[in-house]
Structure 1
Amino acid sequence: MAAMLNLDKHRASAADAALSAGAAFATTCGLGLGILGALGAVDGRRSAVHAPPANNARRCVGVCGGRRSQAMLGHIDGLGNNSNRRLTVAIATGAVIAMAGAVVLITKHESATKAVGVEGYKTLLQFLLVAVLGGGVSLVYQAFNRQAEQRAERARLAEERATVVRETRQRYLGELIGLYNSVKRTRRLLRARAQVYTASGDSHLRVAMYDEHLQLLVDAQLSLEMVVRNVRAEGTLFDAEPDLLPSLRETEEYVRDLISEYETVMPEVTQGATEIPTPPQLADFIGSYEGSAFRVRFIRPVQAAMAAIERLITAPAP
């Protein structure tokens, strides 16, 4: 009988020791849950500190077509995904263990009271419940707060990128319209001031006017060449309109052919000559519009290019 009593006492002591160890473990987990909450807040602030500045999107779009700003949006998404995953694991693990400790304390009320005393039992139970409710709610609140901030930041970056992309396309459209008008203006001035007809009806050019106005076309051709190069370098900014670049090239090549003819004709002009026969390509440029190469190789492609950019400007943001 004495041996059985000793065995029961030993078992009771072992149970109390196990209960105390379990309560201590649960307490530690509850404390850890609160620490994780604090670390989550620090992590959120760190993410905000290391997030790329929004104005980088405005600076980079004109050079790289928005690729860097798109990477910023991906960076924000990555921060949100990693942070949310860590917080989910922390909340689930800490809350389950702390709740389990509280359940053990409630179901083993008498044993727990004997092990830690009445006041100790109350304190321990209150702490676990506060840790579960307070720490868990705090973590959930922080997670939702951070998600809301990341969504707002992503929306702001996306909106700013869309604005910069639209402004960049508008700038290109404005440059192209200016060049289009410049070439047409030169054509009209050549027809009005440089073109003369002989008594036999042959078309001649006043050398001084030809030289003066073709220099304006030189400037237009160089600007068109730069537009073609920049559009090609912009990458994804114009990818949605694959016919844009070929149209711009065709436009630039037509003006370049006029310049090449000018470079060939002028060195052969006799010193003191005031008039020369109209070169064939310039004759087409200033001649009848219907059926001309000017219409086919300049007007149509440049108008197609302008229409393509206008569609990109008015298209909804992706």
Structure 2
Amino acid sequence: MARIRTVKPDLFVNERVAACSVTAVVTYIGLFTQADDHGRHRDNPAIIAGLLWPLRAEHTPVHVEEDLQQLADAGLICRYTGCDGKRYLHITGWYEHQKIDRPSQSRLPVCVAHHSDRRCGPCKGACAEVDANPQGGLAETSSNRRRALDPGPAPLPGLPSNRTTAPPAPGNVQPVDREAASGQGKETVGQGLFDEVSSKTHRELDEASTSGSRILDPGSSSPTGRTAPGATTAADLLAEYVTSCVQRPPGDVLGHLGRLLKKLLAEGIDVEHVRAGLARYAEIQGHPSRLPSLVNDAMNARVPAVQAASRTGTAHRAWTNPADAAAAYAEEL
């Protein structure tokens, strides 16, 4: 929801503001009206373009991304990743230049680099941002005690240590010491039944596990999103597009094009039609969302009427007067 904000006269003589383009300054001032009472907003160029530039179709989300990058380089905004994993931004001088009467609580995550003492929306207090585990494991221990690996306790007397150990002879079974089996009251019974630990844990596999089905069927006709070995992929087409450009396009443009290319190929559209549409897009540029329509033009290009008639064998012939009118119209005269 847009709000009434304050723009001070000093903004127009600020050297950091003067280092940005005019459109970046307009975007910066527009963010005042769209940010919440703590100067935070979603870092999404498409959303910001729809809010601030709805009547300027020529100023696309790609241009808004350039505006935001200029503002970030000048230190006017800070772009960060919240504790929920999404991208946000906040206006760096917000609390110094905006005086909000009875500000409402922010629902967005706080920037821990600048405002770690402020309230975080999702955390309902100080941001409890969890550090990423480089091993891919959970930060907390598993609630399922049977999944924990406990190589310390010795095997219980009278019980086999693994499947290959022969069972004890009759009469040699000793009574189970439940106090020792329970690990002095700290572990549940059964933790020490196995004296050997698997040589490979879940996170120590030689090959990286991939999500989805492990069966690759290149001969399947249904569009599953997978490609046969040696087939042209969305990454290959995107690389061809980048090669044809004078300078490397912004990351958001390439990401949008990559998703569209992958979706088009998954629909079963011929790769040559996709390549033709991408080549046309490289000529005219614009927003990446134009790519599907350009591919459709390549798929369903209109054939001239003369060529279409020649294919069916009914080519049109222009009318000419007969050389001998009496012979041509003998029955009608």
Normalising by structure 2, report the TM-score: 0.24
Q: Which has the larger radius of gyration?
A: 1
Normalising by structure 1, report the TM-score: 0.25
Greater helix percent: which structure? 1
